[in-house]
């Protein structure tokens, strides 16, 4: 494995990557996009902080890249769509700088409330300006918290120690969860109207960019003070500067900017601001923690483990994934089976029943797509990009959870809507190492999903199976297993043969010519 570490990530943190046979290259100077494009080709993993921009051209040039690690929380310097499209896992270190960012938020809030930077600067310039630097107390002030994730929650707990009243806006948490934090969950408009202080702890997305624009700032209580230690771009800096100059906003403390280094921000000309150069995660402890966390996540993934803290795929706890593993393996084979049985798939319905309804089935559904797409697309397909590639091909996916297991302790049913009609297959795991295909197009079977298989719908009448066996014998193909599923005697049936070798196109064509055989297909599944 070749691993590239940029942006001054702590050396002590990358110790987890120094394994026998692994080559770790730590670069202290900053590489330009062009240089990174020219040199990224053979690396299996890349670790960056915030300085390096991992753009789509960089990702396209990365022939061997499997994982990108961000030693920090935000990943806006990494093109997630390009990475996902290529099947590259992106991991971050969401816990490592939580305390540092929360403490910096409180530090800026106190500095803003008590005019500490202005007092320090004036005294050093020989001025004793007590009258002009009267501040406000935090006690019983209303603090609005935009985003109640790890950092926002940590800020709430610390603000309550100052006897502040905490309001929160976060569309992704419940009122019960906010209540446990001691935070009143309110709509955004209410939070803006009631806050004496406002602190932001949200990611920068298309939906949150300029969340605090001129219109939002106009809703806020006159004299409010704003703190941003999250992401530049969440606040419209020009609008904030104007509101600060008019005095509607009493003050702002900003650690992150729309463009960094922030040498031309309109906030630089405002006297009632406290500005720091993106120091939210800049503690010795945080830098070590994020480096260790991301390095351990990458090492675990490259060694064949789960991608902990992945931001472009669902992260499943190891103990949960251990339970899911047999079903994930079966699901991939069911997807591959369908791809070889029918073409032109436009819609999939994956139905879970029995014990599976209580499990986290997202990775199982993604595995169905992986098995399906590996047979029909040229792209490298894995659990990272399977959902993306399915959407790109217009395949709609529906999942259904049903309590009844249909005589099976667990069952995965997959229904494909194709140009030829519905094609279905279902499977069950009898033991962790004993998966089975238990149904094909409504016919019950008990087939081991591995190796070479002949699937032959036919009329249920004497002699057909014998004719197939005769042709197999003449071609020197040994039949390892055989299953026949039917609903009524003399009606339609399906024959599933496991063979020790692949069938030639001529042999498959000859089988299809047997009277009563209705379109035999050869399916090859991984062993």
| pLDDT greater than 70 at residue 404 | no
Decide yes or no: CATH 3.40.50.720 for domain 2-95+286-302: yes
- Summarize the confidence of residues 231-242 as an average pLDDT: 96
322 assigned to active site:
no
Q: Of the residues 39, 209, 278, 375, which is catalytic?
A: 278
* The predicted structure's pLDDT at residue 525: 94
- Summarize the confidence of residues 372-393 as an average pLDDT: 84
Q: Of the residues 231, 289, 436, 458, which is catalytic?
A: 231
Per the DSSP assignment, residues forming a β-bridge with 482 are 497
Single out the residue of 485, 335, 481 nearest to residue 397, CA to CA: 335
| pLDDT greater than 60 at residue 405 | no
* The predicted structure's pLDDT at residue 498: 95
* The predicted structure's pLDDT at residue 482: 94
Q: Could you give the CA distance from residue 401 to residue 20 in angstroms, rounded to a whole number?
A: 45
Residues of the chain with CATH 3.30.1330.90: 317-450
Decide yes or no: CATH 3.40.50.2020 for domain 453-521: no
- Summarize the confidence of residues 1-30 as an average pLDDT: 89
Q: Confidence band (pLDDT; 50, 70, 90) for 342?
A: confident
201 assigned to active site:
no
Residues of the chain with CATH 3.30.70.260: 453-521
| pLDDT greater than 60 at residue 506 | yes
Cis peptide before 41 (omega within 30 of 0): no
* Torsion of Cα atoms, 151 then 152 then 153 then 159, to 10°: 110
Single out the residue of 505, 510, 450, 512 nearest to residue 481, CA to CA: 450
Q: Could you give the CA distance from residue 100 to residue 155 in angstroms, rounded to a whole number?
A: 11
258 assigned to active site:
no
Mean pLDDT of all residues in the chain? 92
Domain 98-275 CATH superfamily: NAD(P)-binding Rossmann-like Domain (3.40.50.720)
Work out the number of other CB atoms within 10 angstroms of the CB of residue 308: 18
509 or 432: which leads in pLDDT: 509
Q: Confidence band (pLDDT; 50, 70, 90) for 406?
A: low
Residues of the chain with CATH 3.40.50.720: 2-95+286-302, 98-275
- Summarize the confidence of residues 491-501 as an average pLDDT: 95
pTM tops 0.85, yes or no: no
Q: Which of 247-251, 321-325, 477-481 has the lowest mean pLDDT?
A: 321-325
Q: Of the residues 259, 260, 398, 420, which is catalytic?
A: 260
Which option is the CATH number for 317-450: 3.20.20.30, 3.30.1330.90, 3.30.465.10, 3.40.50.720? 3.30.1330.90
């Amino acid at each position: 494995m070749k691993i590239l570490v940029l942006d001054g990530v702590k050396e002590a943190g990358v110790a987890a990557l120094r394994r026998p046979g692994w080559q770790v290259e730590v670069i202290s100077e900053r590489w330009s996009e062009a240089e990174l494009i020219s040199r990224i080709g053979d690396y299996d993993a890349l670790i960056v902080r915030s300085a390096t921009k991992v753009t789509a051209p960089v990702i396209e040039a990365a022939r061997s890249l499997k994982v990108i690690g961000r030693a920090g929380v935000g990943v806006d310097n990494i093109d997630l769509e390009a990475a996902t499209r290529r099947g590259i896992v992106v991991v971050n270190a969401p816990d490592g700088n939580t305390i540092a960012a929360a403490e910096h938020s409180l530090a800026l809030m106190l500095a803003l409330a008590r005019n500490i930077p202005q007092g320090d600067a004036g005294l050093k310039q020989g001025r004793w300006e007590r009258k002009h630097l009267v501040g406000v107390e935090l006690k019983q002030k209303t603090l609005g918290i935009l985003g109640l994730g790890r950092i926002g929650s940590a800020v709430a707990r610390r603000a309550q120690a100052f006897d502040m009243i905490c309001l929160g806006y976060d569309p992704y948490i419940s009122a019960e969860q906010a209540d446990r934090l001691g935070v009143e969950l309110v709509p955004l408009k209410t939070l803006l109207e009631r806050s004496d202080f406002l602190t932001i702890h949200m990611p920068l997305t298309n939906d949150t960019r300029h969340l605090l624009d001129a219109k939002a700032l106009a809703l806020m209580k006159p004299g409010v003070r704003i703190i941003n230690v999250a992401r530049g771009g969440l606040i419209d800096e020009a609008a904030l500067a104007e509101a600060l100059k008019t005095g509607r906003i009493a003050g702002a403390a900003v650690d992150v900017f729309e463009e960094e280094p922030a040498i031309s921000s309109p906030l630089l000309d405002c006297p009632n601001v406290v500005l720091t150069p993106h120091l939210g995660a800049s503690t010795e402890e945080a830098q070590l923690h994020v480096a260790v966390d991301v390095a351990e996540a990458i090492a675990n993934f490259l060694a064949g483990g789960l991608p902990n803290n992945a931001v472009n795929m669902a992260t499943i706890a190891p103990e949960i994934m251990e339970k899911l593993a047999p079903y994930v393996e079966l699901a991939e084979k069911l997807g591959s089976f369908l791809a070889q049985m029918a073409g032109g798939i436009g819609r999939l319905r994956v139905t879970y029943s029995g014990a599976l309804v209580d499990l986290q089935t997202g990775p199982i559904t993604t595995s169905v797509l992986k098995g399906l797409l590996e047979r029909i697309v040229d792209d490298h397909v894995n659990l990272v990009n399977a959902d993306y590639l399915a959407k790109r091909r217009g395949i709609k996916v529906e999942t259904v959870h049903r309590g009844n297991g249909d005589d099976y302790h667990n069952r995965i049913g997959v229904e494909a809507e194709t140009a030829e009609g519905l094609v279905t297959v279902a499977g069950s795991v009898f033991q962790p190492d004993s998966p089975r295909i238990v149904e094909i197009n409504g016919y019950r079977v008990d087939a081991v999903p591995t190796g070479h298989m002949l699937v032959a719908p036919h009329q249920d009448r004497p002699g057909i199976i014998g004719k197939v066996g005769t042709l197999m014998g003449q071609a020197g193909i040994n039949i390892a297993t055989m299953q026949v599923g039917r609903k009524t005697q003399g009606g339609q049936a399906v024959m599933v043969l496991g063979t020790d070798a692949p069938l030639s196109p001529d042999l498959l064509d000859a089988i299809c010519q047997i009277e009563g055989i209705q379109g035999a297909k050869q399916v090859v599944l991984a062993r």
